[in-house]
Copies of this chain bind each other. A is one copy, B any other.
């Protein structure tokens, strides 16, 4: 019943526009179309043909098919970032940094896993099957990396403790912890409490041990019973602090160092309710320097971790790898910065 000879343009099945169709339309070969579509005309395509092809591309709405292109080139123009946890503002900034460094030559795609789980071997393999131009892996666990042997360009983010030869960009949380200790010591504090997270995340362990060590050197006490761990949320920290404070006060605690700003918000909140004067009676500090820390009441002293820069540097390293350059240094460590605000001075 159909008239197979009629164009099906109006049947709404709109076939994919291919280079061959453009070539036909422009009266050139697909080789020429490819050259023009990829902007490689310099000394290889006449101005006339270039113009013809450009016009046809526009008229037909041609877009290079990246599947065909990838197969032909042997590699895609996609960069895949694998991340275990994306639901926080810190990660959003990391992404922004990655995107800004990547520019428009590469397409960034994220692969996330369920609630903090790292990708399975099978997932990983399938990712590689997409032939990404490069892989960015955030907060990997060592075993994950082993599955990825010989994968092409790969840069780790926030991956302390990996072999020096693996390209990685890390955050120097330890330095921030030391700066924090020095700041508190200079303000005359001698007895400090520490509120930690309860997850055993590497970065938390680093924050704590670096701070404790620096505090000891500066003759500050962080008594065992003034060390606490709670989930990372305002409410439970407020409760825990509320319970602990009478005893802490008795023992002369004058400052609380928190492993995250969120913990610190809990302390600030409870302190206000109980009428504890900050920082006169109690100094409070956090880590991460979340946006709200500038506007909390009082504003919060915090160790800022350069999220955007972390993403940017990682992407830059990856681009270098993709372009076949030798990395000057496989691993970069980014300095953290102590933001001193009203909660301590």
Task: Give A310 Cβ to nearest chain B Cβ, in Å.
Answer: 15
Whether a CB of chain B sits under 8 angstroms from the CB of A3 is no
Q: Which residues of B contact A100 (CB under 8 A)?
A: 114
Q: For A14, give the chain B residue with the smallest CB separation.
A: B150
Q: Which residues of B contact A129 (CB under 8 A)?
A: 63-67
- Highest count of chain B CB atoms <10 Å: which of A126, A127, A129: A129
Q: Are A95 and B112 in contact (CB under 8 A)?
A: yes
Given contacts A111-B110, A112-B110, A269-B269, whether A297 and B76 have CB atoms under 8 Å apart is no
Q: For A293, give the chain B residue with the smallest CB separation.
A: B235
- Which of A28-36, A81-89, A181-189, A252-260 lies at the interface with chain B? A81-89
* A residues contacting the other copy or chain, number (CB 8 A): 58
Q: How far is the CA of A111 from the CA of B265 in the complex (A)?
A: 32
Residue from B12, B125, B131, B273 within 8 A of A150 (CB atoms): B12
- Which of A101-109, A158-166, A205-213, A336-344 lies at the interface with chain B? A101-109
Q: For A106, give the chain B residue with the smallest CB separation.
A: B126
Task: Give A306 Cβ to nearest chain B Cβ, in Å.
Answer: 17
Within 8 A of B (CB), among A213-239: 233-236, 238-239
Q: Which residues of B contact A236 (CB under 8 A)?
A: 295
- Highest count of chain B CB atoms <10 Å: which of A12, A68, A122: A68
Given contacts A273-B273, A297-B235, whether A110 and B107 have CB atoms under 8 Å apart is no
Residue from B70, B87, B111, B272 within 8 A of A109 (CB atoms): B111
Residue from B107, B115, B265 within 8 A of A127 (CB atoms): B107
Q: For A126, give the chain B residue with the smallest CB separation.
A: B107
Q: Which residues of B contact A53 (CB under 8 A)?
A: none
Given contacts A67-B129, A87-B88, A130-B67, whether A234 and B292 have CB atoms under 8 Å apart is yes
Q: How far is the CA of A128 from the CA of B16 in the complex (A)?
A: 11
Task: Give A100 Cβ to nearest chain B Cβ, in Å.
Answer: 8
Q: How far is the CA of A122 from the CA of B107 in the complex (A)?
A: 11
Q: Are A67 and B76 in contact (CB under 8 A)?
A: yes
Q: Are A80 and B67 in contact (CB under 8 A)?
A: no
Task: Give A25 Cβ to nearest chain B Cβ, in Å.
Answer: 19
Report 16 cross-chain contacts, Cβ distance below 8 Å, ordered by A residue: A12-B150, A14-B150, A63-B129, A67-B67, A67-B71, A68-B71, A85-B92, A86-B110, A87-B91, A96-B114, A99-B114, A107-B111, A234-B234, A235-B297, A272-B272, A272-B273
